[in-house]
Chain A
Amino acid sequence: MRSEREICETCDGGASASVLHAPHAIRIGNRRLTLGVFVAAVAALAAVVAAGIAAGDAATATDFAQKNLAPSLAHPFGTDWMGRDMLLRTLAGLSTSVLVGLLAATASALIALVLGTVAALGGKRADAAVTWLIDLMMGVPHIVLLILISFALGKGFWGVAIGVAVTHWPSLARVVRAEVLQCKEAAFVSVARKLGQGPVRVATRHMLPYVLPQFIVGLILLFPHAILHEAAITFLGFGLPPEQPAIGVILSESMAYLSAGMWWLAVFPGLALVAVVLLFDAAGSNLRKLVDPHSSQD
């Protein structure tokens, strides 16, 4: 475990992995490649967000002389019935989606961290309570729960953000709970206790570094789910309001024009969304390979 972490630190620092000796040269190459994919995916996502924010005003600019145009060089994604450029609209929508996803997934991961830790360390009652809460969350179809929560909060940005945040923690909470439980039994924790370290110090110095890598990977792998559910709930009319640029809004509006043959309104924004989700997935699974070499074999 120790040596793995050292490798990660050296990788993160960008320095050469001098910890490893020569026979592992091929693995270093793999790790570099993995790190490279991770960095590239994050950079691409950052670029999408930046482009979306930059496109902010231009995305809503209407030009009725240019309406209902099929994709061309001037408008690679075509234009809609108000003459808005679909590429700009899609970019702006993607950046909204990514930001909502980041916010909601981070909040969700924090809930998972707290509840997972409470379940693992809080005794039998707390464990039973958290487990029941997880069962309850899993017992209702995700979308139905999202509809209920978003409706309760009056829809809009906060409706969908909080809705996604409070529904995505169960699986990660289970992981955190298992990790903390395992860590509690570990020899190094009991040694630290016997050496007279207080619970806070044990938690921050010994348990946190052990759980953190799994947690961060779990967090990043939550993003795709969060983004897809944000888009879905917005599509159903419970999420972001129609005046905001969002992929869900674009797709639900496109439905009225599909029968008129305007396929580009739906196809390209959706493809872009799939690409963003794949980027998040690539970032998460490559980071997992870096912090958890066991999973890198498949």
Chain B
Amino acid sequence: MPRFIARNIVKFVLLLLAVSLVAFTLVSVSPIDPVQANVGQAALVNMSEAKRAQLAEYWGANTPLWERYANWLTAFVQGDLGMSLRYNAPVADVIAARALNSLALMATAWAASGVLGFALGILAGANRGRLVDRIVKGYCFLLASVPTFWLGLVFLVVFSVQLGWFPFGFSVPIGVSAADVTLADALHHLALPALTLSVVGVANIALHTREKTIDVLESDYVRFARARGLSTWGVLRHHGLRNLALPAITLQFASISEIFGGSVLVEQVFSYPGLGQAAVTAGLGGDVALLAGIAVFSAAFVFAGNFIANVLYGVVDPRMRKGAGRA
């Protein structure tokens, strides 16, 4: 066990180093001039030479890449993520404020899609070949082809514009001071983005659970239980759920990367002030420190999900323990 942990810590550190280096290099080789991108074409033309040089200095356009990366890394090790030039605040603060919004969104969608997908998977697996099964399967295959952001737009059109049930974007009501925002307001704004993310996230887990349910129902112990007179639902409740739940939870942890990716798009559609939207703003504005910070944060987030999944594999299936130790 200590070896397993040590190995994963080394892997984690290497991954973060690589991700931060890649993020830094990629943003720095970009031909997009950060000064122009943030000031705007018209203002840039009318600006004095000295002012332009000062701004170039502010955005670090003239410092070589290695020096910038070395500076950033030294500060990072000391717990300082640098300043977000775009938001004019420490990166750690920007990420912390937005991570809370994003995590609320992702956690809701993660849990909802997990429970819904699990239920649909069992329903389809128990009714294999029947109409319910075909509908669930068709729904899952169809969703794999539906772009998340378009689904978000359709939900906006239907639920916000036509029906008026939900607000048109943002995470809090407009024109209300932060102190007056109630939990109900926040939830009301959270509902539609979370619904979009959950609906898309269902497919994977439902198909997986369906396969597992079919396996379980064909096993010898289920045949024996049936012989004792248990109904299909009785079999599933007493013998199926335990065997089905843990693999599903594991899979759900491993799919955190996809939920994060989906949240970037959904946040953009709903103008929801989360990490994804900050990443897009940082990318469009050439905010190196913030973009690198978010890339590292997302990598750590995904790594944590995969790590939990790996550990759970070991718990679920003792045969995997060796494999988890190696991986």
A interface list, Cβ under 8 A from B: 135-136, 138-144, 147-149, 151-155, 224, 228, 231-232, 235-238, 251, 254-255, 258-259, 261, 263, 266-267, 270, 273-274, 277-278, 281
Contact = CB atoms under 8 A, between A and B. Distances in A.
Given A138-B257, A140-B295, A237-B280, A152 B157 contact: no
Please give me the 5 A-B residue pairs with the lowest Cβ-Cβ distance, nearest first: A270-B150, A152-B26, A277-B145, A143-B261, A154-B31
A289 to B, nearest CB: 15
Given A139-B302, A251-B149, A281-B144, 14 more contacts: A144-B260, A144-B294, A147-B264, A151-B283, A154-B30, A224-B144, A235-B149, A237-B284, A238-B280, A238-B284, A251-B150, A266-B157, A270-B150, A273-B147
Given A154-B31, A266-B150, A144 B157 contact: no
Contacts of A228: 145, 147
Interface in B277-312: 279-280, 283-284, 286, 291, 294-295, 298-299, 302-303, 306
A151 B26 contact: yes
A148 B26 contact: yes
User: Size band of the B side of the interface?
Assistant: 35 or more
A258 B270 CA distance: 12
B39 interface: no
A241 to B, nearest CB: 13
A251 B32 CA distance: 24
B196 interface: no
Contacts of B258: 141-142
A152 B295 contact: no
B18 interface: yes
B157 A263 contact: yes
A232 B147 CA distance: 7
Contact of B29 (A152, A231, A261): A152
A231 B145 contact: no
B299 A139 contact: yes
A271 to B, nearest CB: 9
A270 B295 CA distance: 29
Contacts of A155: 32
B168 interface: yes
A152 B150 CA distance: 26
Given A148-B23, A154-B32, A281 B145 contact: yes
Interface of B: 11, 15, 18-19, 22-23, 25-27, 29-32, 141-142, 144-150, 153-154, 156-157, 160-162, 168, 257-258, 260-261, 264-265, 268-269, 276, 279-280, 283-284, 286, 291, 294-295, 298-299, 302-303, 306
30 contacts: A136-B18, A136-B19, A138-B257, A139-B302, A140-B298, A141-B258, A141-B260, A141-B298, A143-B260, A143-B261, A144-B260, A144-B264, A144-B295, A147-B264, A147-B291, A148-B22, A151-B27, A152-B29, A231-B147, A235-B268, A236-B264, A238-B280, A238-B284, A254-B153, A258-B153, A258-B157, A266-B150, A274-B146, A278-B142, A278-B145
Contacts of A136: 15, 18-19, 22
B148 A140 contact: no
A278 B147 CA distance: 12
A235 B299 CA distance: 23
Contacts of B286: 151
A246 to B, nearest CB: 13
Given A136-B15, A136-B19, A228-B147, A151 B32 contact: yes
B265 A236 contact: yes
Contacts of A231: 147
Contacts of B298: 140-141, 144
A148 B265 contact: no
Contact of B27 (A143, A148, A238, A281): A148
A139 B31 CA distance: 26
A139 B161 contact: no
B327 to A, nearest CB: 9
A255 B268 CA distance: 10
Contacts of A277: 145
Given A232-B148, A255-B153, A270-B154, A144 B26 contact: no
Nearest to B292: A148
A255 B160 CA distance: 13
A155 B30 CA distance: 9
Given A144-B261, A152-B26, A263-B161, A238 B147 contact: no
B22 A255 contact: no
Contact of A274 (B19, B26, B31, B145): B145
B147 A148 contact: no
A149 B26 contact: yes
Nearest to B24: A148
A241 B269 CA distance: 19
A138 B305 CA distance: 12
Contacts of A153: 30-31
